[in-house]
Amino acid sequence: MPDHIYKKIEIVGSSPNGLEEAVQNALARAKKTVRNMRWFEVTETRGCIDEGKISEWQVTLKIGFTLEE
């Protein structure tokens, strides 16, 4: 019975529309090169302001994925 080993990487996703979309954008990009993603943890939420309005949400998340044998 193999014991699972995971790696965690740290990605910053962004979106002009909100923090949930920023997380989704981060995962969509990570998916291109990372397989077997299992979970994420939000570690920071921030954003840019332009003319007094939010121009970009920026969410830092850690993504855990299974390391293959």
**Cβ–Cβ < 8 Å for 50, 3:** no
Minimum CB separation from a copy of itself for residue 22, in Å? Answer: 8
The C-alpha atoms of residue 54 and residue 20 are separated, in whole angstroms, by: 15
Minimum CB separation from a copy of itself for residue 13, in Å? Answer: 6
Minimum CB separation from a copy of itself for residue 55, in Å? Answer: 10
- Give me the residues that bind a copy of itself (CB under 8 A), please: 1, 3-16, 18-20, 22-31, 37-42, 44-49, 52-54, 56, 60, 62-64, 67
